[in-house]
Amino acid sequence: MKLDRIDIKILSELQKNGRITNVELADLVNLSPSPCLMRVKKLQSEGYIQSYSAQINVAKLGQTLTVFTEITLKNHRQIDFARFLAAIEKIDSVIECHLVSGGYDYLVKFVTASIADYQTIMERLIDMDIGIDKYFSFVVLKSPIVKPHMPLNSLFPL
């Protein structure tokens, strides 16, 4: 499926407000409701829209700790990466995991209840012997800018 500017606009609006009504969405993208709904269903069936979810204000629930961790593996064979990922994906506190270029292998984002919880997770990972050579932790003090949406109109100008 080749996307046009209206498809990009639909995706852009839906990621900002997944609960928008089809009538409101159609108005924002300058379509009538029926063709708009057909496009949304096509975007869903083609996998451009993976899911809908709520963004939770975790700070309202209680105090949390966010830590970015640089992880370097001992070896760099395919099996080493697979073993690491198999273990890390089972940890609920892992919110993001990125294979990166540069001085380390993975950048992992953890959200835990406390520094003690984070340290327990890291100790467990080291004890599992999944190939971690070293890790560096960066505790987030404040997040002045967090955007929950991608700049689709800038990334894919049509």
Helices (H) and strands (E) in the chain, counts: 7, 4
Residues 6+ apart with CB under 8 A from 8: 152, 153, 156, 158
Task: Select from 2.40.10.330, 3.20.20.10, 3.30.70.920, 3.40.50.720 the CATH code of 58-139.
Answer: 3.30.70.920
Q: How far apart are CA 119 and CA 135, in angstroms?
A: 12
Rounded to the nearest integer, the mean pLDDT of the chain is: 95
- Is pLDDT at 151 greater than 90 in this prediction? yes
Full-model pTM: 0.87
Could you report the per-residue pLDDT of 35-58, keeping only the tens digit for each? 999 999 999 999 999 999 998 988
The pair of structure tokens assigned to 69 is: 């961790």
Contact in structure between 71 and 105 (CB atoms under 8 Å): yes
Look at residues 28, 30, 25 and name the one whose alpha carbon lies nearest to residue 40.
25
Q: How far apart are CA 99 and CA 105, in angstroms?
A: 6
Which neighbouring-strand residues pair with 25? none
Fold entry, domain 5-54: Arc Repressor Mutant, subunit A (1.10.10)
Could you report the per-residue pLDDT of 7-30, keeping only the tens digit for each? 999 999 999 999 999 999 999 999
> Quick one: what percent of the chain has pLDDT higher than 90?
90
The pair of structure tokens assigned to 25 is: 């969405």
Could you report the per-residue pLDDT of 73-101, keeping only the tens digit for each? 999 999 999 999 999 999 999 999 999 99
pLDDT, residue 153, reads 87
Contact in structure between 26 and 36 (CB atoms under 8 Å): yes
Domain boundaries, the chain: 5-54, 58-139
Burial of 20 (0-12, 13-18, 19+ CB in 10 A): middle
